[in-house]
Amino acid sequence: MSIALVGIGKIARDQHLPAIADSDRFALAATVSGSGGIDGVENHADIAALLHARPDIPAVSLCMPPVPRFVAARAAIAAGRHVMLEKPPGASVTEVFRLERLARAAGVSLFATWHSRMAAGVAPARAWLAGKRITRLRIDWKEDVRKWHPGQDWIWQPGGLGVFDPGINALSILTELCPGALHVAEAELTFPANRDTPIAARLTFTDGAGLDATADFDWRQEGGEIWQIEIETDIGALKLTEGGARLFIDGAEQPTAGCGEYPALYRHFATLLAEGRPDVDTAPQLHVADAFLLGRRVTGAPFHD
Give the residue numbers marked as catalytic. Answer: 87
| Integer Rg of the chain from CA | 19
From 216, 199, 32, select the one nearest 139 (Cα to Cα): 216
